[in-house]
Chain A
Amino acid sequence: LGSFLCLWALRLPAGTGAAARGLDVGSYRERVRAMFYHAYEHYLESAFPYDELRPLTCDGQDTWGSFSLTLIDALDTLLILGNVSEFQRVVSVLQEGVDFDIDVNASVFETNIRVVGGLLSAHLLSKKAGVEVEVGWPCSGPLLRMAEEAARKLLPAFQTPTGMPYGTVNLLHGVNPGETPVTCTAGIGTFIVEFATLSHLTGDPVFEDVARKALKALWKNRSDIGLVGNHIDVITAKWVAQDAGIGAGVDSYFEYLVKGAILLQDKELMSMFLEYNKAIKNYTKFDDWYLWVQMYKGTVSMPVFQSLEAYWPGLQSLIGDVDNAMRTFLNYYTVWKQFGGLPEFYNIPQGYTVDKREGYPLRPELIESAMYLYRATRDPTLLELGRDAVESIEKISKVDCGFATIKDLRDHRLDNRMESFFLAETVKYLYLLFDPDNFIHNDGSVFDVVITPYGECVLNAGGYVFNTEAHPIDPAALHCCRKRKEEQWEVEDLMREFYSLKKNKKFILKRASDNGEGESAKDPEDASSEKGEEKRNSKKRSHSLLSCPSQSFNSKLAVLGQVFLDNT
């Protein structure tokens, strides 16, 4: 393994472009590492077992529940930084110390992305981190059971007429009587990654089913022009807030449609996203900015850019829309340059912050996009954003006890809070931006083979899908625990065919592929008979949905801020 990684390091001379502009990637990587430990150690010292560290008063507080949230969230960052021993220690601490049978009202969304997501990724990475795993791993294990337990606590929220979940649930008693039925769109559509992973790993389909049902309910309630609003009543399915955009309240819904499609090779999710994407481009996109519009009329309601929207370019790069992604990213980067951070709201025409929304809680979204785009373009501009982020965060928000949220970007006043996503996401993405050889960036040239009681699995071959809290999920593990078992006998038969001299016609892919396309009309019956149980026949025709366009010729020169307009 070592030699593979070493070769890989040679493959990506990341510094070449940046070196000309004097950016030392290695030293920035070390500064990010130091940032992590400064915050992490102070959390352990002053705040554990509370959820979060309060950096100005050097103590802790519970924010999203009471499950040592920062520790769960930071767990896989430890491994990405290469700290195996601390990872192992924290795993054992969590196994003993975290209890979900508590009388706490928790956000369904936050608990899912931070706790369930964090535990799932820790479970899937635990072998890599040298944790002694059970024989049934990756389809069983203590961390997986914890994740399942946490997720089960959330299931009561999905018991609504529409299938869309409540926003809050009591971990002990279920949905509180009198709970508000108004949930934000992201709070409904941000489950498929974690829940489908749970279902695939544990074999219990209930999680994936409720997540899919919620997604479909949203899809059904989109407006005539194909947009979704901000908040919806989960009982009556009436839109309460009708602002449509890509940012706060909606953001991770779109993200999970794409990531779910990638993780599950699911055309249906992708076709939903592509429809939304069309509407978003039509109604909300102006000069590579994305504004807020009325979801039924498409008229601009707020000409603002929100800090949370900065994930969009990264998402676009995943599906191959790199040119547009880069153009939007460069817009967002100018806002960073103006303030040393991204204000929650930025009024685009006025070129300034919006009243009461001037804070920057050290959010990761822009850095996340930079990391994805750097994979695609190797543009040194993206490393420059990383440099700016490190300098700004260190200069502005570093205090004796950690890193403090910036309350107001106009004067850089600090707030007594350090959100758990700072260690889970911001630091992680920064580190990954400066560490192109990290195992997370594995392009498939290295992999692990794991023998499970059910057979042999190829794992850790790259292609990790990050949940919206930056917890990586290995798609191969999902395959290992479910699909592989389904396919096993078919594959065995086919392999026998390879060595037999007389070809048995029944195995042959019937479609006369030599003629290329144009025969898809008679496909469904043929294909379904061959492929055994493929879930939805209707999806079959559009498999090319799960692909990216290859990059255009001019993308060779689209670096250092240069953008190209389409000829069309």
Chain B
Amino acid sequence: SCSRAKDVTMPAKLPVNFFSTRSPVIDLFRGQLDYADHLRQDSEIVLYFFYAPWCGQSIAAREEIEHVASRLSDQVLFVAVNCWWNQGKCRKQKHFFYFPVIHLYHQSFGPIEYKGPMSAVYIEKFVRRVMTPLLYISSRSKLLDFLSNYEPGVLGYFEFNASPQPPGYLTFFTSALHSLKKDYLGTIRFGVITDKHVAEEISLVHSGSVYLHRHVNTSLIYPNDIMNYTAENICKWALENREMLIRWLRPHGGKSLLLNNELKKGPALLIFIPYNPLAEIHPLLDEITKVALEYHNCNKSQAAEPDLQHLGDTDSPAFDSSVLDAHMKLSETFSITKYPCCNTVVLPQWHSISRTHNVCELCINQTLGVKPNKVHVPHCNFLEIEAALDSFYLQEHTFFQVISNTIECSNFLSFYSPFSYYTACCRTVNRNFLSFISSEKTIFQTPKVAFSSHGKKDNTQHSIPHIEDRNCFIPDLHISGTNITGLSCRTNKTLNLYLLDSNLFWIYAERLGASRSTHLKEFAAIVDLKEEVHYVLDQNQSLVGSTLENFIKNFSILYSPLKRHLVDDSSVHFNEQRVITEVTTNTFHDTVFLSEKNVLLLYYAQWCGFCASLNHIFIQLARLLPPDNFTVARIDITRNDLPWEFMTDRLPTVLFFPHQRKEQSVKFPEDFSVNLPNLLKFILHHSSLSSSEPCTKECLHKETVLQQGHISHLEREIQKLRSEIGALHQAHDQLEAQLSEARREEHRLQQQKHTLEKQHKTLQLHSEQLQATYNQKNQELLEMAQKLQELADASENLLKENTLLRILVASREGKLQSKDEIKEALQSEQILSEENDVSVSTTTATLEEKRIDNIDTIETEHSSGNRTE
């Protein structure tokens, strides 16, 4: 039975429903792929969800699919197929490397695999795209909408008057579906124009022509003559030639080089915004894309939107206004959102030799991000100006190197209000100070002040009526060297712009230092992989077009005021009771440099095996060192960035910052093992406790402090020794107990030994006795053997006698026989002699028997003697 149990196996459990029976999703949990194919005939759009019942990702996606299905079940057929069960058709025919797999069919076209995020909104958006791969552009306004979108768009013009299905239309339609196969994010939008007049707006004349819209570069028309007009080719052409001003990054979760490839192209601006693909409008996204457009619009003399300009020439009044609107929107982005209130500041001379004056125009701007409705008519508040000046002087090193004739502008945050920032535009003035002022004035006196603020919570209201104010200067940034328009071509620090959905990828923002406390998941950072730095848009400022513009500008200018962002582990809690002080980026300076003590700083990382196994040594060290003079601190270097000069490339690293000479930090030599004596020696060598100078009063004081420290240390030692004594006593008791136990045991053993010895003696006696008896027996045996020998001899003699007798008898018989006939009378006498012969033979037989018996007894005795031995 044992071996049988060993061979027991059990087939996998039979598949059961994966979706609930009430679900709008048809669940073919036995993997009936043939039936699934059959179902496809009933519906124009079908979504297949291939799953494995054990797969965590399938289980997680199940809910999302159900959610989508509940919204689209009237138009789309949702079929789930268990593609794992090995008896099912699906498993036998398909070979998937991962689950779930989502396939979509638009009638016979398919499968289109969905590879986007497993989130209901994204899936639904994609399904909707498959349902209507082409947008129908019926009017000029729709055309404008289509073209103003930041994502590349492909337009086809088809004349439906001639035939219900003009030549090429089907191919175009298929290419739209085809593009979804390649480009699962659906960034290229496809539209179809049916009206001749609308088509003319983008210079399409012939039915069947295909047009790729581009914002910055000239738009293209599909070269029918060079490339074959096939769905694949159109799709390929569009993908190759599309313009990517700003890109969504949507890592799929598997191993990927996406960020590696994108970030290696150069510095990148990553913008994190919450994104709902199903939402009708995306005001924040629109704003960001406008900045992106401006940034890439290098040909400044021409309008940013040549096509729109072209459209604007037409006479259609409705169209005109919409174009105007668009231009208005654009123009808004040119000016920073501002609350204009300015003051001219003359900076002190930096160098005595220099005869230049630095003049700065300091303006207070307010983006009332959270309260868009509470916009007041601005007026120059004296206190605000003063606060701004304070902040400005604190930041003035930013302008230290400004010796050019251009005007450099920077934005910096007010320390007093999270919603306002200051703009300072400075220039160096040589002789013609006045001319500067005058020139500025002409520029500053713009009659109109555009003010826009974008509500974060109320996204529908994204424009505020213009406010006119002629009393204040506005630093018009158009003339400065840091105009955003076309900046990408003018700077040598060109940024690539990327968008990330913070609902899905907020973790990257956190890694770059997005504060955890914020509930608004908006964040922007410039990452420069090559320089290994990143800058973060101040999180106290709301993420709007203008702040983003400033951020880009500040990055691009020559002496960038942006500071390398140091990610800080804000979740560290400071506890006085800790023996080792936990240092973070923010507390580094205070703990190490401002403290009045010698500081031993350990750089570590929790994951590094060599660090973690030293924990106990540093704890011991911290407990030993006099706490009044020494701090043992450590910093988790993977969660806390430090200024370059304090970075280290190996972990663990131990640095010692001696009191009074903090700038002369010393590194614990790498080739010494990190143990208590070595650390103590290292500290002793470098600590500033030693004082060989003659004693002053101060020194005496120090000495007493030191002695007190010593006393407390000794007291601690005594305490320790006491507890040690306690432990020793305990151990002593334990030993005592064990000893007495052992003694008892010994005693017992002794007794046992005695008894054993006695037993031994008796046994010995016994054996001696046995030996004696053995000898005796042996003797007896020998005697017996002798006797036997004698007996044997005797018997031999008897035998001889017997034979003699027989011979005698025979001779007698012979004599008798001869006499028989003669002496018949003597018959009675003959009988007598016969009787005599019989008696003789019986005696010999008994004798022989006796001999054998004797041998037997010798043998038995011998063997018994053996046994006793």
Contact = CB atoms under 8 A, between A and B. Distances in A.
Contacts of A503: 684, 690
B255 A331 contact: yes
A56 interface: yes
Interface string A537-567: 0001111101111111111110111111100
A97 interface: no
A513 B686 contact: yes
Nearest to B258: A562
B510 A391 contact: no
A562 B607 contact: no
A320 interface: yes
A444 B580 contact: yes
B671 A541 contact: yes
Given A327-B255, A441-B606, 16 more contacts: A11-B573, A59-B5, A61-B6, A372-B607, A380-B507, A395-B54, A416-B10, A453-B727, A463-B612, A491-B624, A499-B710, A523-B671, A527-B672, A540-B671, A553-B533, A557-B511
A387 B677 contact: no
Interface string A398-437: 0100001001001111111000000000000000000000
A518 B384 CA distance: 57
Contact of B650 (A11, A259, A544): A544
Given A338-B97, A340-B52, A391-B59, A475 B613 contact: yes
B306 interface: no
A278 interface: no
B680 A494 contact: yes
B12 A414 contact: yes
A564 B260 contact: yes
Contacts of A541: 671
Lowest 7 A-B CB distances belong to which pairs? A463-B612, A444-B615, A499-B710, A376-B607, A476-B616, A412-B12, A388-B56
B12 A411 contact: yes
Interface string A427-458: 00000000000000101110100011101101
B615 A330 contact: no
Contacts of B11: 411, 413-414
B507 A560 contact: yes
A516 interface: yes
Nearest to B1: A57
Contact of A265 (B533, B636, B674, B676): B674
Given A487-B675, A495-B624, A499-B709, A513 B669 contact: yes
Contact of B609 (A262, A441, A498): A262
Given A456-B723, A544-B650, A265 B673 contact: yes
B53 interface: yes
Interface in B545-580: 567, 569, 571-573, 575, 578, 580
Contacts of B612: 443-444, 462-463
A29 interface: no
B638 A376 contact: yes
A381 B619 contact: no
Contacts of B567: 556
Contacts of B60: 21-22, 387
A458 B620 contact: yes
Contacts of B511: 556-557, 559
A228 interface: no
A368 to B, nearest CB: 14
A263 interface: yes
A497 interface: yes
A327 B642 CA distance: 27
12 contacts: A7-B573, A337-B97, A338-B97, A396-B54, A456-B724, A463-B613, A509-B684, A550-B603, A550-B651, A559-B507, A559-B511, A565-B257
A22 B118 CA distance: 11
Given A498-B625, A549-B649, A563-B257, A322 B10 contact: no
Interface stretch (B181-189, B482-490, B498-506, B798-806): B498-506
B698 interface: no
Interface of B: 2, 5-12, 52-57, 59-60, 86, 96-99, 251-260, 263, 503-508, 510-512, 516, 527, 529, 532-534, 567, 569, 571-573, 575, 578, 580, 582, 603, 605-620, 623-626, 634, 636-638, 647-653, 664, 666-678, 680-682, 684-686, 689-691, 703, 706-707, 709-710, 713, 720, 723-724, 726-728, 730-731, 734
A542 B615 CA distance: 21
A448 B512 CA distance: 36
A337 B57 CA distance: 9
A392 B53 CA distance: 9
A453 to B, nearest CB: 4
A384 interface: yes
A136 interface: yes
B673 A262 contact: no
A57 B652 CA distance: 52
A495 B251 contact: no
B624 to A, nearest CB: 6
Nearest to A565: B260
Contact of B99 (A337, A441, A463, A497): A337
A447 B616 contact: yes
B728 A56 contact: no
B618 A444 contact: yes
Given A380-B507, A561-B256, A548 B611 contact: yes
B610 A564 contact: no
A21 B61 CA distance: 11
Interface string A489-515: 011001101110101000111010110
A319 interface: yes
Contacts of B258: 562
A149 interface: no
Contact of A16 (B9, B254, B516, B649): B516
Interface in A308-327: 317-320, 322, 327
Given A395-B53, A476-B616, A550-B638, A451 B97 contact: no
Given A462-B612, A556-B567, A557-B259, A375 B507 contact: no
Nearest to B666: A513
Given A59-B5, A447-B619, A513-B666, A392 B54 contact: yes
A516 B516 CA distance: 40
Given A7-B573, A334-B98, A561-B251, A509 B681 contact: yes
Nearest to A329: B255
A20 B506 contact: yes
B516 A498 contact: no
Contacts of B724: 451, 453, 455-456
A445 B619 CA distance: 9
Contact of A387 (B6, B56, B508, B615): B56
B543 to A, nearest CB: 19
Contacts of A552: 532
A243 B493 CA distance: 52
Contacts of A443: 606, 612, 615, 636
Among the interface residues A135, A380, A530, A549, which one has the most CB atoms of the partner chain B within 10 A? A135
Contact of B615 (A322, A372, A447, A557): A447
| Residue among A319, A407, A547, A554 with most chain B CB within 10 A | A547
A220 B784 CA distance: 77
B10 A320 contact: no
A414 B713 contact: no
A327 to B, nearest CB: 7
B260 A375 contact: no
Contacts of A159: none
Contact of A20 (B504, B571, B620, B723): B504
Contacts of A412: 12, 54
A517 interface: yes
A258 B609 CA distance: 9
B608 A318 contact: yes
Contacts of B254: 330, 334, 561
A399 B652 CA distance: 47
A547 B650 contact: yes
Contacts of B720: 451, 455-456
A487 B676 contact: yes
